[in-house]
Chain A
Amino acid sequence: MGKISNQQVIQSLTLKFGDRISVPNEPFGLLTFETSVDHISEVLRSLKEDKELKFNYLTDITGIHFPEQELSMGVIYHLHSLSNNVRVRIKVFLDIKAPHIPTATSLWEGANWMERETFDFFGIIFDGHPNLLRILNVDDMTVFPMRREHPLEDPNRVDKKDYFFGR
């Protein structure tokens, strides 16, 4: 597909990091692996600065919430190497009681708002972020709306009659 195949990326990663990353798999051809909070900065930095891999483009940072898992909050990075035409997805899972993860803004300036959005929706705290405030929701909101327990509709509505909505 690209100038470097997923296999080469896997080899290079396992050489450098070995057991600090999980076994990579490739859903729909996109190389995916997991790592832990302590190693994520290192992994991202080496992916960006490696002379062969050159993952210099940060596509997206987002979050996810799996309440049944023990480490229920997840942060998902999508990186893209433009010159080699290869994508990679990195997942980091955090404990919901202390969801801290180091920021990626030192590597890519574009991570700034992506991390603010993830904080706004899930409550994940990015240590070292210059300006970690809510970005899309109202500033005085106390809950994190994308977590699974938060309802979709506004709970304070009085004019919506449950009888007509089958509840």
Chain B
Amino acid sequence: MSEVKIVEAPPGIEGSGFFATSMEKVVGLARSHSLWPLPFATSCCGIEFMATMGSHYDFARFGSERPSFSPRQADLLMVMGTIAKKMGPVLKQVYLQMAEPRWVIAVGACASSGGIFDTYSVMQGIDEIIPVDVYVPGCPPRPEAIIDGFNKIQELVKHESLRRRESQEYKELLGRYGIQ
């Protein structure tokens, strides 16, 4: 047997030559292990992300070998660093260009809530303009913390219902941010 660990198959009915399970579980499993992140790195947390992508902490083993810098091809928007009010519209445009299903992780204190910068020019958290799924606190968070946040996103992705993005609740959530 090889040393490579493979994930367990979801519960289902097995037979010779077929395996029956629900579509959600299979799609969730596939998606969660191949998320393509968009590193939206603005400041110090971006450098910690570079350390996470490096060989010591190796972010790529979770399936994110290809960080996409184009929002059209990305699943996960990782906002790392302070977002100033000047940058807010840019962030919103990048978020709008992403295709569903999309997730957002706010890495660092500045992206979660403005951090130590309670000033006239800093947006106090990116959840003023886009919906956020996971917040990773820290200033900057250790690479282990970023990986932990990513694992939580993977849990969310694995168990997400296929119909969530068309549901009324989700549309209301986006409506609160002014996104159609």
State the A residues within 8 Å of B (CB).
137-138, 145, 150-155, 157, 159
Q: Are B119 and A138 in contact (CB under 8 A)?
A: no
Q: Is B85 an interface residue (CB 8 A)?
A: yes
Could you jot down 21 A-B contacts, CB within 8 Å?
A: A137-B86, A137-B121, A138-B85, A138-B86, A138-B121, A145-B120, A145-B121, A150-B120, A151-B120, A152-B118, A152-B119, A152-B120, A153-B118, A153-B119, A153-B120, A154-B119, A154-B120, A154-B124, A155-B120, A157-B124, A159-B124
Minimal beta-carbon separation of B168 from chain A (angstroms)? 27
Which residue of B is nearest A152, CB measured? Answer: B119
Contacting residues of chain B (112-127) with chain A, CB-CB under 8 angstroms: 118-121, 124
**Main SS of the interface on chain B?**
loop
State the B residues within 8 Å of A (CB).
85-86, 118-121, 124
CA gap between A154 and B120 in the complex, in Å: 4
CA gap between A44 and B120 in the complex, in Å: 35
CA gap between A2 and B143 in the complex, in Å: 48
CA gap between A159 and B114 in the complex, in Å: 13
CA gap between A155 and B124 in the complex, in Å: 13
CA gap between A159 and B86 in the complex, in Å: 21
Q: Which residues of A contact B120 (CB under 8 A)?
A: 145, 150-155
Which residue of B is nearest A145, CB measured? Answer: B120
Known: A138-B86, A154-B120. 12 other contacts (CB 8 A): A137-B86, A138-B85, A138-B121, A145-B120, A145-B121, A151-B120, A152-B118, A153-B119, A153-B120, A155-B120, A157-B124, A159-B124
Q: Which of B86, B120, B124 has the most CB of A within 10 A?
A: B120
Shortest 5 CB-CB distances between A and B: which pairs?
A: A154-B120, A138-B86, A153-B118, A152-B119, A138-B85
CA gap between A137 and B119 in the complex, in Å: 12
Which residue of A is nearest B86, CB measured? Answer: A138
Q: Which residues of A contact B121 (CB under 8 A)?
A: 137-138, 145
CA gap between A151 and B120 in the complex, in Å: 8
CA gap between A79 and B179 in the complex, in Å: 52
Minimal beta-carbon separation of A165 from chain B (angstroms)? 10
